[in-house]
Every structure is written in structure tokens, then in C-alpha cells.
Amino acid sequence: MSQIRFYNTYSKQVEPFEPLQAGKVKIYSCGPTVYSHPHIGNFRSFLMADLLKRFLEFKGFTVSHVMNITDVGHLLDDADEGVDKLEEVARKEKKDPLEIAKFYTDSFMTASKMLNIKPADSYPRATEHIPEMIDMVQSLIDKGHAYVVGNNVYYDVTTFKDYGRLSGNMLDDLNAGARIEVNAEKKNPQDFALWKHDPRHIQQWDSPWGRGFPGWHIECSAMSTKYLGEQFDFHTGGEDNIFPHHECEIAQSEGASGKKWVRYWMHTRFLMVDGEKMSKSKGNLYTIQELVDKGFKKNAIRYALISSHYRQNYNFTFDGLKAAEQAIDKISQCVFLLRQVTAEGDAVRDEVPAFIEKAINDFGEALSDDLNISKALAAVFELVKDANKLTDANTAEVKVILDAIERIDSVLGVLETSADEIPPEIMSLAEERRTAKLAKNWTRADEIRNELTAKGFVVEDMPGHDYRIKCRDA
């Protein structure tokens, strides 16, 4: 068995994987900015985190996974200028930003469930962690990494020697580049805002620097520290997060703690649609629901989005989805036929454990190699081929084969039944209960819990005001 290894965006090399703590893995994933329905490109990145997590569990690790929900501070150009993505929608629709956030958080949760993504242990919301962000900003000021100008706080990038290591955007090159924004307040053009003052902003909080709102980057540093500690194993995201977002996160977290923060940075490449970049104007920003409405199966969408290597651009096409459906059918058909076997027997022929061991081993070895999914899937179809050849199998052999397929599917997640699906109205009720609890409206929270129970669902409370819903009999 070879060592598990991953490509680390930080070192730009494939590195052997050593967890910080034996047997345990901590993963932080940049989650959605909840101002629109997440599209297949977003989900390709969330599915990479899901595949990583499921694979590490397959390998016997206990995984803690945190994914943030950005509901304030993410400005349109990903940097310090422009309007807040969420507030722009709130203004257009004449709604409260939190209402917009709730609507699109529901949409994200529903689509994640449709794609059989294992829920994170918590989904901290930025607006519920303002005190933690203020503390971190204060600590950065105290340590000389940040400075206050009027009611704004900026990070002085020249105080952090490794700024640029992740993205390769070293300061000298950046400053020589054409796009230097004009902001007389900043000491250096690349300094970024930790706390911003803007009277037009709808969501505002009190801080030692006056009323304002946090920058986008500080939320991930503050919330990952709160839920995973000052050091953890993995940080995932889309390649568009590398700069400025993740570069700034490193400067903040390591600036505040003085410790090496994340061990492995993993980034998913862009998704193309029919060979073109995704864009609103082209109308190809498909959501999961839109694809389901077109008649595609949810597990086929999942399969298609995980079936190519995360470090390659993936070209999404409807033909690709149909091919994914056929691939799953091949496995399902094999499982179906095995389940029809009635020939009793407890003798297992030598070749059965032999091909199964080979398939499980090849599958694990392929994913150990920086999640080489194509090779892993080849091992699955080899197993299917061998199982199909065994036309005279007995029940004992069937059990061994089905157990192996189940073990493989604990990683792929494409065969699981849809029996445990949570309907959108149940998700919405659970969200309402969460809001009621936050407002300390215990009566309403209890009412909703009873209503959920009556409808056959159990809601379990989790850290960070989070919750999990399950079918009562699941």
C-alpha cells in the first residue's frame, strides 16, 4: 500500500499526506456566498471536498469538516471595491439581506442533499461570528499587521513575509502590475480591508473602530480557528479562491497565531460548459434543480461532476450526463442481478475474494494518488466485469461482492437510495426553527420541532447553531 499523497497548491508539489493528529483529519472548505442559486461549477468544488472527505473516511480517518456560509462582506470584485453581492440582491428585490441569505442557504442545502454530499459538521454563518472576527482584527492590530484609518482597518501586507507564496503573486510583481486600485488610505496598494466603514451598507455592527462590517477574507480565518483550531490539515476551494481570498486568509491566520496554519491547500479547476466559460450572459450557469427539471438523474449529475480529476478543467455537456447515467446503470444492473441470486451456498470460490481484493486495492491506490478518479473508476468497472462473469454465483459469494460494492460506493456515493431525501419544505421548517432559536423564541422553536416530528423527521442540534435532519426511521 503506498502512501496517500495530494497536490498542495502551496508547495506546488505532490506531497505525502501526514495528518496533524494520528487518525484524525480536519478540513475547512470555502462554502457558498448565498446571493444566488449555486451552479454546477460551485458544486464541482464542493463535491471535490466531499470526495476527499469520503476517501479519507474510507481509509479509516475520522474527519471533521467545516464549511462556511458567506452572508456578508463578499464584494462584487472579490477585493475591496464594489458593492456587497448579497446586499445588491437585497436592494433589487427589496428584501432584508438575511431573508436573501436564508433563501439561498436553503437552496444550497437542498442541492447538496440532492447530490448526496455528506453534511459538514457545521456550517458557520459569517453574520453570526462578528465578535470572533473583531477579536482577530484586534489581535492583528496589536501584533502590528494591521492599521486603522478613520473607521477602516487594513492589513499591511508588507508585514507578512510569505504574502504571495500560495498564489505566486509576489508583492513586487503585483505592484508592478497594471491593476493597482487607487485608495489613498492604504499604505500599500495590495493592503486589504479587515473592517470597513460604509454608511450605505445595510448590515452593520458596532466595533472598536466604529460601526461597519467585516471584510470577506477575515470570516474564514476567524471561523476556521473557532471550529478547527489554529492549525488544521486541509483547506479546499475553487481555483478562483486562491487569490486574493486564500492568500489573504493565510496572512491573517498566520499573522494572528504566529503558527503554520493549513497543511494542504486543494483547489478545484474551473468547469466549462460545452467548451465555453460559464457566464450569466451565455445562460449556462446551470443549477442542480435545472438539470433535474431537464430529466437528468441526481446521481448522474454527481457522477459526472466527480468523474474527472479535480485539477483538470472539466467540460460539462449533456452527453457527458447521459454517459454518467449509463455508467451508473452498469453498476446498478450488476447489483440488481446479484440480488436476484437464490442459489444457497456458503462456499466462496477462490477467484471471488481475489478479484474483490484487487478491485478495492486498486480503487484505494488510485485515490491515494491525489484523488486519481479515472483510475479508481476503472477499478470499479473491472470489478463489475468480473462479477458479471460469475453467472453461477451463490448467496455467500453475492454477499461478499455486494459488500465490496457498498464499500466503494461509500466513497462514490452514486448508488445510495433516495429514501432518505429531505423534502424542501422540511429543510425550510428546520431553517425557520434555527432562526427562532437565534431570536430566543423557544416556544416557536419547540412548535417547529413537534411539527417536524409529526411529519416523520428528527432534528439534531449541532455546534455553531447548526442542525442535522434525519428521517425518523432511517
Which positions lie near Zn ion, rule CB under 5 A?
30, 220
Phi, psi of 235, deg, nearest 5:
-130, 125
Least Cβ distance, residue 32 to Zn ion (angstroms): 11
Please give the angle made by the CA atoms of 113, 26 and 302, to the nearest 5 degrees: 25
**Measured distance CA(259)–CA(229) in Å, rounded:** 11
Least Cβ distance, residue 241 to Zn ion (angstroms): 6
Q: 3-class DSSP state for residue 6? A: strand
**Measured distance CA(353)–CA(351) in Å, rounded:** 6
Considering beta carbons, is residue 89 or 220 the nearer one to Zn ion? 220
Which residue bears the cell 432584508? 96
Question: Which residues lie across from 70 on neighbouring strands?
Answer: 33
Least Cβ distance, residue 96 to Zn ion (angstroms): 24
The DSSP bridge pattern shows strands 13-16 and 314-316 to be unpaired
Least Cβ distance, residue 45 to Zn ion (angstroms): 11
Least Cβ distance, residue 229 to Zn ion (angstroms): 17
Would you state the cell numbers that stand for residue 36, as one nine-digit string? 444566488
Q: What is the largest CA-CA distance in the chain?
A: 81
Q: What is each CA distance from 66 to 54, 235, 242, in whole angstroms? A: 14, 10, 18
Annotate 381-435 with DSSP letters as a single string.
HHHHHHHHH-TT--HHHHHHHHHHHHHHHHHH--S--STTPPPHHHHHHHHHHHH
Least Cβ distance, residue 276 to Zn ion (angstroms): 27
Least Cβ distance, residue 220 to Zn ion (angstroms): 3
- Residue 8's identity, in one-letter code, is N
Please give the angle made by the CA atoms of 155, 156 and 157, to the nearest 5 degrees: 100
Q: 3-class DSSP state for residue 25? A: strand
Considering beta carbons, is residue 262 or 414 the nearer one to Zn ion? 262
Considering beta carbons, is residue 30 or 40 the nearer one to Zn ion? 30
Least Cβ distance, residue 357 to Zn ion (angstroms): 41
Considering beta carbons, is residue 73 or 364 the nearer one to Zn ion? 73
Are 195 and 137 within 8 A, CB to CB?
Answer: yes
Considering beta carbons, is residue 36 or 68 the nearer one to Zn ion? 68
Considering beta carbons, is residue 242 or 384 the nearer one to Zn ion? 242
Considering beta carbons, is residue 221 or 368 the nearer one to Zn ion? 221
- Residue 367's identity, in one-letter code, is L
Considering beta carbons, is residue 213 or 355 the nearer one to Zn ion? 213
Considering beta carbons, is residue 43 or 355 the nearer one to Zn ion? 43
**Measured distance CA(310)–CA(260) in Å, rounded:** 25
Least Cβ distance, residue 31 to Zn ion (angstroms): 8
